[in-house]
Amino acid sequence: MSNSPIPTGKLEKAILKSDESDDIEFQFNPTSLSFNQSIDLDAETAARTESGDPKVSFKGPCSRTLSISDIKFDTYETGENVIEKYIGKFLKALDFAEKGEAKGKRPPTYTFIWGQNQYIRRCFIESLDFDITRFLIDGTPVQAVISSLTLTEIESVTASGSTNPFGRGSGPNR
């Protein structure tokens, strides 16, 4: 018998959960998640092998990143400003410091959760690219697509305790 959670059959929204600022709920779930994990090499080492090749020096793991693309938002039916209702929360996470007070401040941290899966924990929004794709006749933006959202993990993979599909860590999901 497995200890895996049993699917409930109900639609679960993807969410960026934060302990220190507003949660960011996705209106429509992503269609794919793209992970990047690498190790940090010391490229400036002068050591050489007997054959003259440079020796590789390993520093440790780099922060894991999660990229999500093609995230859709639509307020056409209600006529609400899609930037104010949805995209603004993403922008606020990038523009986290008051004018002139960015020194020493850090961006809000999140955990990316979708259903029973905690894909990346203690991360921040590193970058955001979005397009406004539909307007009302008065110019109100009512549809937008985030073409690229990059989340970067703050802690190392082993320290984060995230529970993700790759089996790293075993912390609680919520």
Assigned domain for 56 exists:
no
Strand partners, 135: 141
> Which ranges constitute the DSSP H helices of the chain?
82, 88-94, 157-160
The pLDDT score that the predictor gives to residue 161 is 47
The pLDDT score that the predictor gives to residue 49 is 73
Assigned domain for 168 exists:
no
Residue range(s) defining the domain that contains residue 78: 14-34+67-160
Amino acid at 47: A
Per-residue pLDDT of the chain (174 residues; tens, 9 = 90+): 455 556 667 788 999 999 888 899 999 999 999 999 888 877 666 677 777 777 777 777 888 999 999 999 999 999 999 999 999 999 999 987 655 555 567 889 999 999 989 999 899 999 999 999 999 999 999 999 999 999 999 865 444 444 444 544 434 444
**The residue to which tokens 């406004």 are assigned:** 132
Assigned domain for 136 exists:
yes
Instruction: Please say whether the beta carbons of 9 and 112 come within 8 A.
Output: no
Q: Which two tokens stand for residue 149?
A: 């959202």
Calpha distance 145→132 (Å, rounded): 7
126 SS3 class: strand
State the pTM of this model.
0.75
**The residue to which tokens 């793209």 are assigned:** 34
The pLDDT score that the predictor gives to residue 57 is 75
Assigned domain for 145 exists:
yes
Assigned domain for 47 exists:
no
Calpha distance 159→143 (Å, rounded): 38
Query: What does the radius of gyration of the chain's CA atoms come to, in whole angstroms?
Result: 20
Assigned domain for 19 exists:
yes
Assigned domain for 125 exists:
yes
The pLDDT score that the predictor gives to residue 145 is 97
Give per-residue pLDDT as tens, 55-74.
777 777 888 999 999 999 99
Strand partners, 143: 74, 134
Number of domains in the chain: 1
The pLDDT score that the predictor gives to residue 135 is 98
Assigned domain for 148 exists:
yes
